[in-house]
C-alpha cells in the first residue's frame, strides 16, 4: 500500500478476509476465496467490467496462483497458473528441474502410509524431509540416520495432519519429499522477469549457518561477498530455474545453496521475499522493492537510477524455543548500535512463539545499513547480542 501510494496507483485489495485494509483503499475491497482460484477469478473479472484493472499482483504464496489465474482471464501479462502451481510444489519443482537437465539433489516421495522402517533404511543420509506444499521452514527437517528419519516423519506428520494444513495440502499432505542434504553456503535472490527475460535485483548472503535439524531463516546481507564468478553462476541457475518451471513474468524469490562450488536451486517462488525483509532493500534513489514490482506491473520505467552502493541487511529475530512472548528486552540498546536502522517486533506480546518446524510466524526484524556487508553483519550481530527474548512457559 505504501508503494502504491508513493506511485499514485489506486489499489483494490482482494483478500479472503472481508473488507481487508478498507480504510487504506477508500473502501475498494473484494472478498475472494484463495482455495478456489477459478471462482475468485470470476469475481475479479466481474469487478473489472465495472472498474477496469491494469494489473493484478499476488503478494504472497497464497495469492500468486489467484493473481495468475485472474490475470489470464483478463488478458493481462501473467505467469501460467501451471507454472505457479509447479513453483509451489517442491516435488514438481524438482521434476521440472531434472527434465530441463538442471542438477538437483536426489529426491523421492515417501507416503505416510508406506512402510517407514523400510524406507528409513533405503534413503541416503544425511537427508532433508519436507512437505511439498508448505513454506517458512514449516515441517522441514534434516535426518542423519534411520532413527532421526522415523522421528522426523512422526513430528512432521503431526504438523501436516492439523486440519487447516491437511485441508490446504489435500493429497499433498499424504506424503513427504525426502532429498539428499546439500551442505554449503546458502543465498537468496530477488529477480524480476519480463516476457521470460530475467533481471537480478539483489543477491543476499545468509551468513548464519543453516545446518538443521530444523531450518530457521535468520540473517540476510546484501550485496553478496561471494566471488563475481559464483554470483554470475547463481544468477544463471536462477534464470534456468525460471525457464524450467515456466515462470516468465514479475518478481521471483529464489533460494540456492553453493554445493561444492556449484549453485543448486533449493526453491523458487513467484513473489518477493517474505516477512518485512524487503525493507532492507533500496533501489536507485530510494525506490522500494514493492515500488519496483508495481512499476513493472503497470509498465512504468523500472530502472530507478544509480544504486547507492551501500550494504544492507536484516536479521529475522531468532527463536530459540517456544513459549509465550512476554517481553523483548534491550531494544533501546540494540537500536543504538551504529548501523542499526530499525527494530520491529511484529509478534504481539502474549502471542505464542513457535520456531520451525512447527511454527511459521516471525518474531520480528532488525535492519542495518553500512558501507560494507561485513559492517552490516557486525552491526546485526552486536545488536542481536543486546536483545533478550523473554518467554513464559505455555499454559499446557
Ligand X SMILES: Nc1ncnc2c1ncn2[C@@H]1O[C@H](COP(=O)(O)OP(=O)(O)OP(=O)(O)O)[C@@H](O)[C@H]1O
Site residues (CB under 6 A) for ligand X? 90, 105, 128, 130, 134-138, 140, 179, 181-182, 186, 210, 215, 217, 255, 257, 266-267
Q: How many other CB atoms are found less than 10 A from the CB of residue 35?
A: 14
Q: What is the dihedral of CA 95, 96, 97, 99, to 10 degrees?
A: 90
Q: Are strands 219-222 and 175-180 parallel, antiparallel or unpaired?
A: unpaired
Q: Least distance in Å: CB of 128 to ligand X? A: 4
In this structure, what C-alpha cell is assigned to residue 162? 492439523
Q: Least distance in Å: CB of 60 to Mg ion? A: 13
Q: Which does 182 bind (CB under 5 to 8 A by kind): ligand X, Mg ion, none?
A: ligand X
**Residue list 228-267, contact with Mg ion (CB under 5 A):** 255, 267
Q: Which does 68 bind (CB under 5 to 8 A by kind): Mg ion, ligand X, none?
A: none
8 Å CB contact between 364 and 337: no
Burial of 207 (0-12, 13-18, 19+ CB in 10 A): buried
Nearer CB in complex with ligand X: 181/220: 181
| CA angle in degrees (0–180, nearest 5) for 235-297-240 | 20
Alpha-carbon Rg for the chain, nearest whole angstrom, is: 21
DSSP state of 298: T
Number of residues that bind Mg ion (CB under 5 A): 2
Q: Which does 41 bind (CB under 5 to 8 A by kind): Mg ion, ligand X, none?
A: none
Q: Which does 128 bind (CB under 5 to 8 A by kind): Mg ion, ligand X, none?
A: ligand X
In this structure, what C-alpha cell is assigned to residue 338? 551504529
Q: Decide: helix, strand or coil at residue 57.
A: coil
Nearer CB in complex with Mg ion: 267/291: 267
Q: Least distance in Å: CB of 236 to ligand X? A: 20
Q: Are strands 29-31 and 13-15 parallel, antiparallel or unpaired?
A: parallel
Q: Least distance in Å: CB of 188 to Mg ion? A: 8
Q: Least distance in Å: CB of 266 to Mg ion? A: 6
Nearer CB in complex with ligand X: 61/239: 61
Q: Least distance in Å: CB of 377 to ligand X? A: 18
Per CB under 5 A, residues contacting Mg ion are 255, 267
Amino acid at each position: 500500500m505504501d508503494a502504491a501510494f508513493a506511485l499514485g496507483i489506486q489499489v483494490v485489495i482482494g483478500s479472503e478476509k472481508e473488507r481487508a485494509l478498507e480504510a487504506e483503499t477508500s473502501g475498494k475491497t473484494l472478498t475472494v476465496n484463495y482455495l478456489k482460484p477459478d471462482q475468485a477469478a470470476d469475481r475479479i473479472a466481474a469487478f473489472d467490467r465495472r472498474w477496469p484493472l491494469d494489473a493484478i499482483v499476488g503478494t504472497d504464496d497464497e495469492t500468486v496462483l489467484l493473481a495468475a489465474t485472474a490475470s489470464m482471464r483478463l488478458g493481462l501479462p501473467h505467469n501460467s497458473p501451471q507454472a505457479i502451481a509447479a513453483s509451489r510444489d517442491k516435488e514438481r519443482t524438482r521434476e521440472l528441474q531434472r527434465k530441463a537437465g538442471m542438477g538437483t539433489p536426489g529426491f523421492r516421495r515417501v507416503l505416510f502410509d508406506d512402510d517407514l522402517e523400510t524406507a528409513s533404511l533405503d534413503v541416503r543420509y544425511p537427508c532433508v524431509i519436507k512437505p511439498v506444499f508448505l513454506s517458512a521452514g514449516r515441517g522441514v527437517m534434516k535426518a542423519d540416520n534411520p532413527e532421526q528419519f522415523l522421528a522426523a516423519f512422526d513430528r512432521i506428520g503431526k504438523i501436516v495432519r492439523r486440519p487447516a494444513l491437511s485441508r490446504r495440502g489435500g493429497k499433498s499432505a499424504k506424503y513427504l519429499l525426502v532429498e539428499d542434504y546439500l551442505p554449503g553456503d546458502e543465498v537468496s535472490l530477488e529477480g524480476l522477469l519480463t516476457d521470460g527475460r530475467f533481471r537480478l535485483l539483489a543477491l543476499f548472503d545468509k551468513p548464519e549457518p543453516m545446518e538443521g535439524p530444523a531450518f530457521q531463516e535468520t540473517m540476510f546481507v546484501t550485496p553478496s561477498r561471494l566471488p563475481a564468478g559464483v554470483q554470475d553462476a547463481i544468477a544463471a541457475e536462477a534464470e534456468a530455474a525460471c525457464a524450467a518451471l515456466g515462470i516468465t513474468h514479475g518478481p521471483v524469490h529464489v533460494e540456492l545453496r553453493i554445493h561444492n562450488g556449484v549453485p543448486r536451486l533449493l526453491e523458487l517462488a513467484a513473489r518477493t521475499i517474505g516477512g518485512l525483509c524487503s525493507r532492507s532493500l533500496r533501489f536507485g534513489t530510494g525506490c522500494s522493492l514493492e515500488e519496483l514490482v508495481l512499476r513493472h506491473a503497470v509498465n512504468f520505467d523500472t530502472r530507478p537510477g544509480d544504486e547507492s552502493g551501500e550494504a544492507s541487511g536484516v536479521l529475522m529475530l531468532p527463536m530459540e524455543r517456544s513459549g509465550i512472548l512476554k517481553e523483548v528486552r534491550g531494544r533501546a540498546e540494540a537500536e543504538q548500535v551504529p548501523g542499526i536502522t530499525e527494530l520491529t517486533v511484529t509478534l504481539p506480546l502474549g502471542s505464542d512463539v513457535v520456531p520451525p518446524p512447527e511454527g511459521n510466524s516471525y518474531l520480528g526484524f532488525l535492519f542495518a545499513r553500512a558501507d560494507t556487508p561485513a559492517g552490516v553483519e557486525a552491526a546485526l550481530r552486536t545488536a542481536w547480542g543486546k536483545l533478550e527474548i523473554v518467554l513464559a512457559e505455555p499454559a499446557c
